[in-house]
Amino acid sequence: MKAFIINRYGKKENLQSAEIAEPVLRANDVLVQIHAASVNILDSKIKNGDFKLILPYKPPITLGHDVAGIVIKVGLGVKQFKTGDEVYARPSDHRIGTFAELIAINENDVALKPGNFSMEEAASIPLVGLTAWQALVEKANVKKGQKVFIQAGSGGVGTFAIQLAKHLGATVATTTSASNIDLVKSLGADIVINYRKEDFETLLKDYDIVLNSQDAKTLEKSLRILKPGGKLISISGPPDPSFAEEIKAPWFMKLIVRLLSAGVRKKAKRLNVSYSFLFMRAEGTQLGQITSLIDAGIIKPVIDKVFPFEQTNEAMGYVETGRAKGKVVIKIK
């Protein structure tokens, strides 16, 4: 089958079009014919080698973390899906590879595609949807009336998280550029800060939750806008000891992680707020709950561009510019 792979890590490395073996179907897997995939900054970070310690993939690697398609075969142990089902998923770590024509995915990581979505719309959702869900519902337990600050509101995670936080009853603040102010307001943002002209630290205070996706400087400023007992959840690092425990990291990795996050954890403790790192995981049950919100019209997709499969490198390059509004999708079939 055709796929786009990397043969070695590196920022200057391009994906290579290649013919690779079809995936081997395990007992609890579904084989999905991929109709669409979407590109995430995580794909770029893996290509660059930024996550070699956390995700030690051995090249050649087929990238891609989001998929929508049709089940064409099921393993002997599969109980939830059948041939012909239209599904979407974020495959689990070490089983990624949606920049391809086929993928085998454990059925527990899969959900039925929202009925009113195209394949391209469905493919835009899993990673960002699960990231927002695990941050705001699972970790933060957002309640009605709370104040939530979501950074980079016009990005992939941001566009989804604004809608989810608003659904949960929060007052939502976000940052974006002037050209995207109307977009984030249409998604439900109550307070919109033009990051090129305004400093959110001088405008926001006593927030319950921050979803951090930016650099270390922004993270430190975000800690200071939280009220005592507030929570900062970061999807851009640094990883914390709890995360190292979750992934059953070896002792030396746990030590590295503890040192990497020591400074921010100390600052958080001094301010009487909490810091945690989120590296989202595949979770079909949660994706099914997200589907219910989509079918109810509560969540809508935000797609910037759709690229043909042959232009996967161009799609990656566009995401790496940081200018995409919402998601960038690859149409494979």
Query: Which of 227, 230, 232 is CA-nearest to residue 211?
Result: 232
CB count within 10 Å of CB 198 equals 12
Q: Where are the domains of the chain?
A: 2-125+301-331, 128-277
Exposed/middle/buried for 69, CB within 10 Å: 0-12, 13-18, 19+? buried
Residue written as tokens 């919402």? 326
- Token pair for residue 89? 């998923």
DSSP string computed for 243-310: HHHHTT--HHHHHHHHHHHHHHHHHHHHTT-EEEE------HHHHHHHHHHHHTTS----EEEEEEGG
Report yes or no: 158 and 131 within 8 Å, Cβ to Cβ: no
Rg (CA), the chain: 19
Q: What's the pLDDT score for residue 54?
A: 84
Report yes or no: 40 and 66 within 8 Å, Cβ to Cβ: yes
* Residues of the chain predicted below pLDDT 50: none
pLDDT in tens, 23-80: 999 999 999 999 999 999 999 999 999 988 888 899 999 999 999 999 999 999 999 9
Q: How far is CA 162 from CA 213, 244, 274, 300, in A?
A: 13, 28, 21, 11
Q: Which residues pair with 88 in a beta bridge?
A: 68, 111
CB count within 10 Å of CB 106 equals 19
pLDDT in tens, 124-140: 999 999 999 999 999 99
Do 2-125+301-331 and 128-277 come out as alike in CATH topology? no
Q: Which CATH architecture has domain 2-125+301-331?
A: Alpha-Beta Complex (3.90)
Q: Which residues pair with 209 in a beta bridge?
A: 148, 231
pTM: 0.97
Q: What's the pLDDT score for residue 303?
A: 98
CATH H-level, domain 128-277: superfamily: NAD(P)-binding Rossmann-like Domain (3.40.50.720)
Q: What's the pLDDT score for residue 310?
A: 98
Q: What's the pLDDT score for residue 213?
A: 96
Full 3-state SS string of 176-228: ECHHHHHHHHHHCCCEEEECCCCCHHHHCCCEEEEEECCCHHHHHHHHHCEEE
Helix (H, G, I), strand (E, B) or coil at 8: coil
